[in-house]
Amino acid sequence: MPDYPQILFKNRRPGETVFLDGFRQTGGYQGLEKAIRAMTPLEVRETVKRSGLRGRGGAGFSTGLKWSFFPADQPGDKYLVCNCDEMEPGTYKDRQLLMADPHQLVEGVILSAWALQVSEAYIFIRYAYEQEARNLERAIVEAKEAGYLGTDILDSGWSLQIHVHRSAGRYILGEETAQLNGIEGVRPNPRSKPPFPAVKGLWGRPTTVNNVETLADVPHIITGGAEWFKNLARNEIGAGTKLFGLSGHLERTECFELPVGIPLREVIFEVGGGIRGGGEFKACLPGGASTPYLTREHLDVAMDFDTLEAAGSRFGTAGVTAFDNDTCMVAVTLNLIRFFARESCGWCTPCRDGLSFVQWLLEEIEAGRGNMEQIEMLKHQRRNITGRSFCALAEGAMGPLDGLLRLFEDELEEHVRKGRCPF
């Protein structure tokens, strides 16, 4: 396998976690010192904007642009929230980062809080990530003892407190406004937008929510510079590296740090080692469970936000799940829809009732009890749910269904004609 630049995983060692001493030996907290001693908060925000960093949590929105909506100069309470809910099937990159190098996120949170001029931050972490939460809590204590966190950080007159908040354990809490409700201790339904969190977020105050990997990139951008970060990508429109979580029918299923813009073919056959047992590649989810499938005809697409949108899918969290030629794509889609239907918060009809109906239709077809009319019903539900749900959960659930209907409708029809699953 080729050698790729390692930025986020430079301290990654099998079975080890790097804490303060090891982190500082490889340049840890230099970005924070540079920002506080030699840059204004505005200069930090502008550097992040020029770097081309886009959110690594799924949506891919420009981080610098998102920060520009935040009233950093407004007096009063303001908050930064780090989203480490990470409950989507096939996505596990943030966990790997926190197992390897928790101070990287802590520095990213502190530096980003300085840029946004907030004095209180929350790291919202998945309920099952108990060891990762303990790693963060230890790193936070070490950062305080070293003067990087707490009161009068690096003699700047600025102070920050970071809280680790463990999730109660539902997928809906990954939606940023539902997450804010979860932190406040109320039912985690998504909130109506506008107002957006940057205007009215946690406890009604301005709040920015960013993903773990996004915030961990910020110190490297400050130390290396915006152009350096952009040039890490393989293509001109991309920027930086990305943590790819490989799973499914591959020879190597683990998390890798790879350049943005790397072709899917290279991810599958060089990094992932190809289909296990010498099998044939059929399809994959390129960015987690909520993204439409890619097939053999897409193997040369660049793994980046805009190029994958043009190919009919999304980069998402770069959770690449590969399937071999013996896989039933109806069964795969049913498995994913069951997850999304179960995790619906029930707040809106398209999600609460629509996903359950889609699940029932797929179960009938997979079991051999389906008919051609039910395939048309699936198409109707895709149209009915897409763009009409209160938040992005149901919209994301339509990703694999959309891929199934566009790319594998012949498999649905074969299930109906044969009265059974043909695989």
326 pLDDT above the threshold of 90: yes
3-state SS of 141-182?
HHHHHCCCCECCHHHCCCCEEEEEEECCCCHHHHCHHHHHHH
Q: Report CA 281 to chain centroid distance, whole Å.
A: 25
**Residue from 375, 348, 349 nearest 361 by CA:** 375
One-letter amino acid at 111 equals L
- How many whole angstroms separate alpha carbon 339 and alpha carbon 334? 9
**Residue from 256, 282, 297, 217 nearest 44 by CA:** 217
Rounded to 5°, angle at Cα 172 from 168 and 174: 85
58 pLDDT above the threshold of 90: no
- State pLDDT tens for residues 122-146: 999 999 999 999 999 999 999 999 9
Could you tell me what percent of the chain has a pLDDT over 90? 96
For residue 78, the 8-state DSSP code is -
Q: Is-contact 146 140, C-beta < 8 A?
A: no
Sheet holding 120-125, edge to edge: 161-166, 120-125, 79-84, 207-211
- State pLDDT tens for residues 62-109: 999 999 999 999 999 999 999 999 999 999 999 999 999 999 999 999
- State pLDDT tens for residues 3-22: 899 999 999 999 999 999 99
59 pLDDT above the threshold of 90: no
Predicted TM-score (pTM) of the model is: 0.95
HSE on the CB side for 150, CA within 13 Å?
A: 13
Query: Which residue is associated with the tokens 């998402």?
Result: 316
Q: Residue 207: its pLDDT value, please? A: 98
CA dihedral 156, 38, 18, 230 (to 10 degrees): 140
1 pLDDT above the threshold of 80: no
Q: Is-contact 214 64, C-beta < 8 A?
A: no
Q: Is-contact 266 246, C-beta < 8 A?
A: no
- What mean pLDDT value characterizes the chain? 96
Domains of the chain: 20-230 (3.40.50.11540), 240-324 (3.10.20.600), 329-418 (1.20.1440.230)
- State pLDDT tens for residues 246-300: 999 999 999 999 999 999 999 999 999 999 999 999 999 999 999 999 999 999 9
Q: Between these two residues, 160 and 59, which has the higher pLDDT value?
A: 160
**Residue from 96, 97, 46, 422 nearest 226 by CA:** 46
Q: Residue 387: its pLDDT value, please? A: 87
358 pLDDT above the threshold of 90: yes
DSSP codes, 249-300: SBS--SEEEEETT-BHHHIIIIIS-SBGGG--EEEEESSSTTS--EEGGGTT
Other beta carbons within 10 Å of 207 = 27
